[in-house]
Structure 1
Amino acid sequence: MTAIAQQLPGLDRIRDRFVDLLEDRKNSIAQHVLTAWDGETTDEINGNLVSARNILHQIAGTAGTVGFHDLGTTAHQCEAQIIAHLEGPYADLAICPGEIIWRIDTFVEACATITPSA
């Protein structure tokens, strides 16, 4: 955590809330990506990937501020991988690339080092 961030009033409360929400967010992301992996239609797959991307975006934007820079970087990399697929040449095919599954797995592992239930 940066020296300035450590001095912000209420940051401990925000950090605690971030950690409290992380387990549910992690599970939601994993569920969306697994549903995309098992999906049969482009809409189902891409819709679940968009949902996962949106949650990852929130985490990536907050994690570094509350002292979890590595988790923020990992969330951003996952988000970028999903965006690359959704904006790429195979977005109109009913597939969820294995690279996304791999990236999300690294995110889940990174969360496990932070959440108290890990």
Structure 2
Amino acid sequence: MNALTHQFPGLERIRDRFVDLLEDRKNIIAQHALAAWDGETTDEINDNLKHAQNILHQIAGSAGTVGFHELGGTALLCEEQIIAHLDGPYADLAICPGEIIWCVDTFVKACATITGHA
């Protein structure tokens, strides 16, 4: 237990819940990223990227609060990569940039260090 946990007694419960949910969220993000990579239409690719982005946004916003600052930063980086693509000049093409897949892979590995599941 750290000093922050002593200041906010309910934080440990919230942190545990965050970790419990992280495995499923990580898997959903990875599934959406792979579906975007394998997608054949612009809508299919971009919709999957938007779904992944939404979950990454939630994680980026809460990870630091429960003590996982590095994970929050990694989630934010992934989210920013997706936003850059969706707002960029190639969003109307049926492609999923490899940088997004690399970033999501980095995020998945970061989650595995926290959850203990590879």
TM-score (norm 1): 0.94
Q: Contact 1:29–1:55 (CA<8 Å) still a contact in 2?
A: yes
| Closer, same or farther: CA 4–84 of 1 in aligned 2, 3 Å | same
Runs of 4+ in 1 over 2 A off after TM superposition: 2-6
| Closer, same or farther: CA 37–14 of 1 in aligned 2, 3 Å | same
> Tell me, which stretches of 5 or more residues in structure 2 are unaligned?
none
Query: What is the percentage of aligned positions where both structures have the same residue?
Result: 79
Aligned to 2:62: 62
Q: Contact 1:5–1:66 (CA<8 Å) still a contact in 2?
A: no
Tell me the secondary structure at the aligned position of residue 71 of structure 1. helix
Q: Shift in Å at residue 8 of structure 1?
A: 1.4
> Tell me, which stretches of 5 or more residues in structure 1 are unaligned?
none
Aligned length: 117
Aligned to 2:45: 45
TM-score (norm 2): 0.94
Q: Shift in Å at residue 104 of structure 1?
A: 0.4
RMSD between superposed Cα atoms in Å? 1.4
Aligned to 1:97: 97
